[in-house]
């Protein structure tokens, strides 16, 4: 498939090329996309340098933990233990307590992320 993009040759010293490659890799971009963004005035921010990115990563981990706990609860309730034994009821109580705790962490993390995003977007 033909492309409508045109190539532009750019010269770098070996050290500059190493820096550009490294920065593109850290940002998860191709060198072309990095240089394109920089040429149009976008800031070259490394995701870990943006205050809300680590918070969002933690939020995603907490969300994954929430899903894992939900799956565990489903497995306990789907077991052939009918009526529920005292041990199974204990497992359900423990899992529900952990789910509630994780939900609290998700709420707090989401609020923190939103505050940081709103603050950061004013600064960008």
Using one digit for the tens of pLDDT, what is the confidence trace for 73-100? 999 888 876 788 888 899 999 999 999 9
* Whether residue 95 sits in one domain with residue 35: no
Q: How confident is the model at residue 72 (pLDDT cuts 50, 70, 90)?
A: very high
CA distance 42 to 82: 60
CA distance 61 to 25: 23
CA 72 from centroid of its chain's CA atoms: 23
* Whether residue 39 sits in one domain with residue 62: no
CA 2 from centroid of its chain's CA atoms: 35
- Is residue 52 within 8 Å of residue 117, measured between CB atoms? yes
Does residue 1 form part of some domain? no
Instruction: Give me the number of domains the chain comprises.
Output: 2
pLDDT at position 54, please?
84
Domain interval for residue 13: 8-44
Share of the chain above pLDDT 70, in %: 89
* Whether residue 90 sits in one domain with residue 31: no
| pLDDT, tens digit, 9 for 90 and up, residues 102-116 | 999 999 999 998 998
Closest by CA position to 26, among listed 53, 63, 60, 62: 53
Among the ranges given (32-36, 50-54, 105-109), the one the predictor scored with the smallest mean pLDDT: 50-54
């Amino acid at each position: 498939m033909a492309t409508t993009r045109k190539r532009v040759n750019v010269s770098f010293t070996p050290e500059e090329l190493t820096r550009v490659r490294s920065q593109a890799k850290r940002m998860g971009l191709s060198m072309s996309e990095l240089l394109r963004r920089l040429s149009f005035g976008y800031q070259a921010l490394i995701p870990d340098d943006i205050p809300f990115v680590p918070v969002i990563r933690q939020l995603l981990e907490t969300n994954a933990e929430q899903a894992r706990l939900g799956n565990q609860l489903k497995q306990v309730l789907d077991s052939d233990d009918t009526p529920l034994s005292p041990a199974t009821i204990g497992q359900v109580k423990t899992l529900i307590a952990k789910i509630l705790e994780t939900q609290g962490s998700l709420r707090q993390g989401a609020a923190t992320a939103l505050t940081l995003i709103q603050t950061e977007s004013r600064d960008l």
